[in-house]
Amino acid sequence: MGSLLGVAALIAVIAVGMRLLRRRAVERAQPGRSADRAIPIRDYGEMDIAVQLQACPCGGRYLVRGEGPGSAPQLRVAHLECRRCEREASMYFDVSEVLH
């Protein structure tokens, strides 16, 4: 009986882990969630709008905690924190067309 409960617990842990991996893959596929899916902007104000349109998986909204240069000269990264669950995330923006 004990080994049966152990197998059931292992299956449950694997299922939860796979669900978490799938959720993270879906998040990374969203625009702006990785450097290769950076959101093109023409004005820095568009960054705030894009962040306001994002929702955390918990349903909360993000707050910009900082921003800085990305891994390439045309990238800018906004560092976000969920107001509800304090989860951290990043959004990438392509600023190559920003008018100075």
> Using one digit for the tens of pLDDT, what is the confidence trace for 14-35?
888 888 788 777 677 678 888 9
Residue 84, domain member (yes or no): yes
Residue 81 lies in a domain: yes
16 in a structural domain: no
Which residues contact residue 19 at a Cβ distance below 8 angstroms, ignoring those fewer than 6 apart? none
* Proportion of the chain in helix, strand, coil states, percent, rounded to 5: 40, 25, 35
Q: Is residue 4 in some structural domain?
A: no
Mean pLDDT of all residues in the chain?
87
Q: Which is more confidently placed, 17 or 52?
A: 52
pLDDT for 57: 86
43: Cβ contacts below 8 Å, ≥ 6 apart: 98, 99
| Residue 11 within any structural domain of the chain | no
Residue 42 counted as domain residue: yes
Range of the domain at 50: 31-94
Residue 17 lies inside a defined structural domain of this protein: no
Number of domains in the chain: 1
Residue 5, token pair as written in the block: 């409960």
The answer to whether residue 6 is domain-embedded is no
